[in-house]
Amino acid sequence: MSTEGYVKLEVAHGLATIVFFHPKGNSMPSAQLARLADAIREAGENEQARLILLKSDGEKAFCAGANFDELLAITNEEEGKTFFMGFAHVINAIRKAGKLVICRVQGKCVGGGVGIAAAADYTLATEQAEVKLSELAVGLGPFVVGPAVERKLGLSAFSQLTIDANHFRSAQWAKSNNLFADVFPSISELDVAVDQLVQTLLASNPEAMAELKKIFWEGTGHWDQLLQSRAETSGKLVLSEFSRAFLQQRK
């Protein structure tokens, strides 16, 4: 496994597979988030791809959210907005892809990782894939990922995750609240289920799937502006005394 972060895109037999990795629990620095958003856009525009599969490497964490080192380095509101737009670009890229996005979640999801899992059109996970929105504990809130999470889970479950920011919820809780379509005991069993779903969808009518994608995302045409506004809010709050003190403690 590489000691550096990466994003890989491969298109073969109608499937665009996007894999990301970072050695710090698959936390995502800004540059890597930008590459991930670009890869999703590229897959969406590739005429050879009929379906997109999004996953991360490693076994313990699907995505640990934002990179704390970069959060601490933010010195003004514009830098803050730019940082938080990272996950906004990824979510909007999934939304606009024009093709169904299947997400494979093999481990824990935190913050932005929950946002990615929620933004995908269909997400399968292992029983080890606990979820947590930790932003309030940092002095922020899940403002950018909130629309995607609330859209998939509903306001009640979203508010539970948001308020109980220090504790993980189980994969079964995530399944019960519609974040995960199904969960499996092991990564190997997850991969079998993902492959079966992929093969079924690749044998389906791509035009029908594209039309379904439009229906699934009806009412979200304003998200470019909405997520930008949410990123501005987070960019201000990350400069607060509370957030600065928390991040210094975690340094």
Please compute Rg for the chain using Cα positions.
17
User: What's phi and psi for 201, nearest 5 deg?
Assistant: -70, -35
Q: What is the number of helices (H) and of strands (E) in the chain?
A: 11, 9
What pLDDT does residue 67 have?
82
From residue 113, give the alpha-carbon distance in Å to each of 36, 109, 201.
13, 5, 24
- Given a contact cutoff of 8 angstroms between Cβ atoms, the answer to whether 134 and 166 are in contact is yes
Q: Which two tokens stand for residue 53?
A: 């599969």
Element (H, E) at 126: strand 122-126
How far is it, in rounded angstroms, from Cα 3 to Cα 22? 8
Per-residue DSSP letter, 57: S
How far is it, in rounded angstroms, from Cα 49 to Cα 41? 12
- Work out whether strand 15-21 and strand 6-12 pair parallel, antiparallel, or are unpaired: antiparallel
- Strand order of the β-sheet with 61-63 is 61-63, 108-110, 131-132
The 10 Å Cβ neighbour count of residue 12 is 9
What pLDDT does residue 2 have?
54
Q: Name the β-bridge partners of 20.
A: 7, 56
How far is it, in rounded angstroms, from Cα 202 to Cα 99? 11
Q: Domain 6-202: give its CATH superfamily.
A: 2-enoyl-CoA Hydratase; Chain A, domain 1 (3.90.226.10)
Element (H, E) at 15: strand 15-21
| pTM metric for this prediction | 0.95
How far is it, in rounded angstroms, from Cα 49 to Cα 40? 11
Task: Find all residues with CB under 8 Å of 237, minimum gap 6, and list them.
Answer: 139, 140, 141, 243
The residue to which tokens 């909007």 are assigned: 92
Where are the chain's structural domains? 6-202
For the chain (251 residues), the mean pLDDT of every run of 10, in chain order, is 82 98 92 96 97 95 89 91 96 97 98 97 98 94 97 98 96 98 98 98 97 97 98 95 85 62
